[in-house]
């Protein structure tokens, strides 16, 4: 047996209270009394009902709180012990007027909390794969939702495998079931996208999708998540945290896969582009071929003309070299009549020799009557050397 | 032509071929070869779209074997 100090017992009690999960996060409804506000801005009050009272403290509310004695409120916070006075207190972090509805209050509280943590950040949303191969579906294995999802995907894009991760979607086991179902898909190879879906219902029916554990499971999943919960007017925390929010389960299925009809049209237009691409190519090659053919024949004609010209020049050259040409220019060929030897020097003839003189159109016979050495003064009378 | 191509792979290759044909710079043989490959890919795309048969598998979760609990509100 030992004796405890007051401080020891109070610390022990505080630790005991703070270790309790229910007391760490709870809503309490009651009527406000003994309301007071400290100079530092802290609010002190008591919540009471017909038979009991609970001391409350609200440290420096971030937003203005409209409290007065007699107001019926719901306060959210944690219960602990103030060691200094030994008082059991509710440490309040949120106060709402009674009548707003607990679920609504809880929804707004969790939404604000997760938003501040960054779970809804647009920058964090992951894009959906354009052509998924394996689609995980977290929903009830029976009922209209799975049937709708299967029939929509069958119609739009049956190239996929649907991997159903079955779970209860309402009731006590729903939260754990959804969390486990997402985890099971995360442990399955090749899941490209996950649809988390549930049909329409009351806010209580959909409540599992407003639970923090489900929100964190969606946020933590390896594959991008499409939420399709309830009708298009229902917004759940799961919708805010999902990578894509679909208004309904059917819409989630449509967002998950492309439409086969669109793809067929796309393939059709690509086929046409292929045909016109080749046609254009062939036309280009044909055009180049035509151009080349034209160029070749132009070159050929040109080179023929050049050859003609050169031929004509050669002919002229030949003509000018022929002895006949020379004779036409006025020169004469002299031969000894007796021997036929061509006379090119004085010594080849004697006075009295008969010689034959050939000119351009015939010949005549002459006799040598005299000679004289040298050609001085005679050059000027020569016929032009030009043809 | 690889007959094991998925729809996505065949479509991607087909898009590249159309771009190549539109860009120019190919020889006649290359352009005809690409055209033929493209037509084969278009056929594969259409086959994949038309012949596909949706597959459904179910994971064994704790709930997988449990009594059914549908979307209808509980009684």
> pLDDT tens digits for B12-65?
999 999 998 888 788 888 888 999 999 999 999 998 888 878 889 998 876 644
Closest-CA residue of A relative to B26 is: A281
Contacting A with CB below 8 Å, chain B residues are: 6-8, 11, 14-15, 17-18, 21-22, 24, 26, 28, 31-32, 35, 38-39, 42, 45-46, 48-49, 52-59, 61-64, 66, 68-74
Which of A133, A136, A153, A166 would you mutate first to test chain B, the one with the most B CBs within 10 A?
A: A166
Q: What's the pLDDT at A384?
A: 58
The band of A278, judged by pLDDT with boundaries at 50, 70 and 90, is confident
In the DSSP assignment, the letter for residue B63 is G
Average pLDDT over residues A181-202: 94
Asked if A188 reaches chain B (Cβ–Cβ under 8 Å), the answer is: yes
- pLDDT mean across residues, chain A: 89
Are A278 and B32 within 8 A, CB to CB? yes
Instruction: Give the minimum alpha-carbon distance from B1 to chain A in angstroms, rounded to a whole number.
Output: 17
- Quote the percentage of chain A above a pLDDT of 70: 96
- Chain B residues in contact with A287 by the CB 8 A cut-off are none
Kindly tell me if the per-residue pLDDT of A258 is higher than 90: yes
Closest-CA residue of B relative to A273 is: B18
Instruction: Give the minimum alpha-carbon distance from A19 to chain B in angstroms, rounded to a whole number.
Output: 30
Asked if A41 reaches chain B (Cβ–Cβ under 8 Å), the answer is: no
The band of A285, judged by pLDDT with boundaries at 50, 70 and 90, is confident
Q: What's the pLDDT at A382?
A: 63
Asked if A260 reaches chain B (Cβ–Cβ under 8 Å), the answer is: yes
> pLDDT tens digits for A219-239?
999 999 999 999 888 889 999
Which of B23, B24, B61, B66 would you mutate first to test chain A, the one with the most A CBs within 10 A?
A: B61
- Chain B residues in contact with A250 by the CB 8 A cut-off are none
Q: Would you tell me the crossing angle of helices B28-51 and B7-23 to the nearest 10 degrees?
A: 150
């Amino acid at each position: 047996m030992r004796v405890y100090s007051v401080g020891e017992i109070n610390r022990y009690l505080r630790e005991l209270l703070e270790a309790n999960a229910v007391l760490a996060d709870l809503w309490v409804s009651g009527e406000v009394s003994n309301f007071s506000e400290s100079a530092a801005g802290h609010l002190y009050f008591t919540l009471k009902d017909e038979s009991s009272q609970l001391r409350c403290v609200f440290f420096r509310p971030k937003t203005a709180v409209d409290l007065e004695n007699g107001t019926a409120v719901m306060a959210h916070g944690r219960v602990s012990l103030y060691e200094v006075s030994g008082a059991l207190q509710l440490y309040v972090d949120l106060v709402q007027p009674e009548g707003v509805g607990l679920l609504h209050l809880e929804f707004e509280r969790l939404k604000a909390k997760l938003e501040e943590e960054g779970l809804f950040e647009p920058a964090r949303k992951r894009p959906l794969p354009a052509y998924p191969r394996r689609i995980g579906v977290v929903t009830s294995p029976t009922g209209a939702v799975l049937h709708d999802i299967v029939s929509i995907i069958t119609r739009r894009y049956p190239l996929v495998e649907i991997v159903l991760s079955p779970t209860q979607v309402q009731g006590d086991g729903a939260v754990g079931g959804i969390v486990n179902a997402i985890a099971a898909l995360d442990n399955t190879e090749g899941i490209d996208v996950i649809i988390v879906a549930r049909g329409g219902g009351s806010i209580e029916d959909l409540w599992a999708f407003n639970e923090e554990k489900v929100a964190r499971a969606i946020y933590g999943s390896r594959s991008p998540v499409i939420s399709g919960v309830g009708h298009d007017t229902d917004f759940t925390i799961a919708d805010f945290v999902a990578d894509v929010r679909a208004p309904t389960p059917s819409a989630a299925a449509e967002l998950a896969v492309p439409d086969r009809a669109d793809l067929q049209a796309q393939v059709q237009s690509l086929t046409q582009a292929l045909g016109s691409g080749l046609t254009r190519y062939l036309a280009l090659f044909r055009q180049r071929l035509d151009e080349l053919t034209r160029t070749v024949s132009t070159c050929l004609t040109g080179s023929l003309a050049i050859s003609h010209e050169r031929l004509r020049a050669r002919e002229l050259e030949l003509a000018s070299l022929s002895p006949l040409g020379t004779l036409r220019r006025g020169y004469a060929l002299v031969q000894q009549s007796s021997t036929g030897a061509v006379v090119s020097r004085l010594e080849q003839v004697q006075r009295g020799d008969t010689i034959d003189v050939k000119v351009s159109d015939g010949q005549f016979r002459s006799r040598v009557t005299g000679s004289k050495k040298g050609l001085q003064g005679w050059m000027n009378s020569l016929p032009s050397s030009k043809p | 032509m690889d007959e094991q191509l998925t729809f996505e792979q065949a479509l991607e290759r087909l898009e590249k071929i159309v771009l190549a044909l539109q860009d120019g710079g190919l020889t006649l043989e290359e352009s005809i070869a690409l055209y033929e490959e493209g037509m084969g890919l278009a056929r594969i795309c259409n086959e994949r779209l038309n012949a596909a048969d949706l597959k459904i598998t179910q994971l064994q979760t704790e709930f997988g074997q449990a009594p059914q609990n549908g979307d209808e509100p509980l009684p």
